[in-house]
Amino acid sequence: MRVLSQPSRASTTITVVAAALLCMGIVMVFSATATLGDEPLFADPLRNPAIRQASFTLIAMLGLLIGGAIPYTFWRVRPGSWWQPAILLLLIAIGFCAIVLVPGIGTLRNGARRWLSIGPSSWGLGFQPSELAKVAIVVFTAAYAAHCGERIRKFWRGLLPGLLLVGLVVALVGKEDFGTAALLGAVGVGVLMAAGARIWQLVLCAAPGVAGMVYLIVAEPYRMERLLAFRDIWADPRGRGYHQVQSLLTIASGDLWGVGLGAGIQKYGYLPEARSDFIFAVVCEELGLVGGAALIALFIVLIWQARRAMLEAVDDLGRLLVVGVAATIGLQAALNIAVVTVSVPTKGISLPLVSAGGSGVVFLATMIGILANVARRRGREWLPDDD
């Protein structure tokens, strides 16, 4: 069988949908950044969130193209070779996730040490290692499980080594970012399960993982406060429940068709994190239920085309990469929307490709490029007149 690399319906749709989400992100971040002052838009472009988002989106587009151009087989495990890109990427991610926790190196923002500063402080630029960890977890678990093959069903020589490395990344990220840590753990376990790992072995290993998650919750008072606030957001609508109440009010204000793009009111200081974690609420306010449903539909189309790419993948590595990328995008989008609609307790997790942020937009777009690359590659039987 010969593997061909050429555009397919799935790869084209995945790329177009990703570009549409990125463009929608630019528009909504520009809208959510609006102020009542008269400061010119380009007065301080390095500090202006809207200009920065547009710049990050251009870089993300480049990452999407690069991820789609590099053959996904680049990430395969090479037996007997020192050159192991997937393992190297994971080690780099682990290093950055550890360094960011060091006081004086990691930058403290909103009470959490999740960023590494880039360039002079006047630029206000930062890099979030947990976003790199998302790519590393997907690539490593897919490459490792594909290399193991049937051996992934053996606990000591197959499942455990991979699971321990996933757990290490989750622990480092979870120290300051519980929501992303939970997402990484779910994606890593999901890829291993798709590779054929025994479910009872995963359940057995889940006990210490659950214990660790409980510890991460009780170790930080603000996480317990979020859980208590979620039980009854109306008990303290101006205090612990303020964020959730304002999110629901923002969504309800949009009704069916919305108040109009740029005409939203809640973004003017009423809804916290309007351009980042809670941008979906701004979408619903300005574009209404129709706009919110259209945004959700784009994610559904993306995941559905990923399913198609998975079914047509020519090898285990491609199939598992698709599972990992689709799980990351799908779970993150679902978690964000669930938080904004107050279906789950508040977590610091963004809406993929749409929320303001540089690291998340760039690395997630690159992952989708890898997904599109898998969708491009299909098998074809050798024919007598083949070159």
pTM of the model: 0.91
The predicted pLDDT at position 1 comes to 44
Reduced to 3 states (helix: H, G, I; strand: E, B; else coil), residue 115 is strand
Identify the residue with better confidence: 382 or 167: 167
| pLDDT at position 233 | 84
One domain, residues 312 and 337 = yes
pLDDT in tens, 157-176: 889 999 999 999 999 998 87
Residue 87 located in a structural domain: yes
What b/e string do you get for 37-66 counting C-beta neighbours within 10 Å, with b at 16 or more? eeeeeeeeeeebbbbbbbebbeebbebbee
Which residue range(s) make up the domain with 130? 77-219
For 99, phi then psi, to 5°, come to -65, -35
pLDDT band of residue 122 (cuts 50, 70, 90) is: low
pLDDT surpasses 80 at 275: yes
Instruction: Using alpha carbons, select from 2, 3, 8, 65 the residue that is nearest to residue 306.
Output: 8
* The total number of structural domains that make up the chain: 2
Angle at which helices 316-340 and 279-312 cross, to 10°: 160
pLDDT at 381 over 50: no
Query: Is the same domain home to 211 and 345?
Result: no
Helices (H) and strands (E) in the chain, counts: 12, 5
Which two tokens mark 161?
Answer: 């080594």
Residues 174 and 264 in one domain: no
Q: How many CB atoms lie within 10 A of CB 311?
A: 10
Instruction: For the chain, give the percent of residues with pLDDT over 90.
Output: 53
Mean pLDDT value across residues 264-279: 89
Say whether both 299 and 373 belong to one domain: yes
Look up residue 66 and give its amino acid.
I
The token pair that represents 279 in the structure block: 């941008």
The string of pLDDT tens digits covering residues 328-375 is: 999 999 999 999 999 888 887 899 999 988 889 999 999 999 999 999
Does residue 365 share a domain with residue 235?
yes
Question: Which of 158, 191, 219 is the C-terminal boundary of a domain?
Answer: 219
Q: Please state, for a pLDDT cut of 70, what percent of the chain lies above it.
A: 90
Instruction: Supply the pLDDT for residue 383.
Output: 40
Average pLDDT, the chain: 86
Q: Are residues 360 and 240 in the same domain?
A: yes
CA distance 75 to 279: 34
pLDDT of residue 120 exceeding 90: no
- Asked if residue 139 is part of any domain, the answer here is yes
Q: Where is the domain boundary, 166, 193, 219?
A: 219
Tell me whether residue 9 is in a domain. Answer: no
Domain-embedded: residue 6: no
The answer to the question of residue 387 being in a domain is no
Reduced 3-state DSSP string for 116-172 = EEECCHHHCEEECHHHHHHHHHHHHHHHHHHHHHHHHHCHHHHHHHHHHHHHHHHHH
Look up residue 379 and give its DSSP letter: E
- Note whether residue 166 is domain-resident: yes
Q: For residue 360, what are the CA distances in angstroms to 209, 264, 278, 282, 332?
A: 25, 25, 15, 19, 11
Q: pLDDT tens digit string along 57-74?
A: 999 999 999 999 999 999
Does residue 103 sit in the same domain as residue 120? Answer: yes
Mean pLDDT in residue range 263-277: 88
Domain check: are 215 and 276 in the same one?
A: no
Q: Which residue did the predictor score with more confidence, 7 or 384?
A: 7
Note whether 132 and 188 are same-domain residues. yes
Q: Which of 185, 219, 253 is the last residue of a domain?
A: 219
Question: Same structural domain for residues 180 and 240?
Answer: no
What's the rounded Cα separation, in Å, for the pair 277 and 264? Answer: 17
Q: Which one is predicted more confidently, 179 or 110? A: 179
Asked if 131 and 148 sit in the same domain, the reply is yes
Asked if residue 357 belongs to a domain, the reply is: yes
Query: Could you tell me if 292 and 333 lie in one domain?
Result: yes
pLDDT in tens, 25-48: 999 998 888 766 655 555 566 667
Q: What is the mean pLDDT of residues 206-225?
A: 77
In a domain, 7, yes or no: no
For residue 285, the model assigns a pLDDT of 95
Instruction: Give the N- to C-terminal CA distance of the chain in Å, as an integer.
Output: 13
CA distance 272 to 28: 15
> Do the Cβ atoms of 205 and 155 come closer than 8 Å?
no
Query: How far, CA to CA in Å, does 116 sit from each of 59, 78, 100?
Result: 19, 32, 6
Rg of the Cα trace of the chain? Answer: 21
Is residue 216 scored above 90 in pLDDT?
no
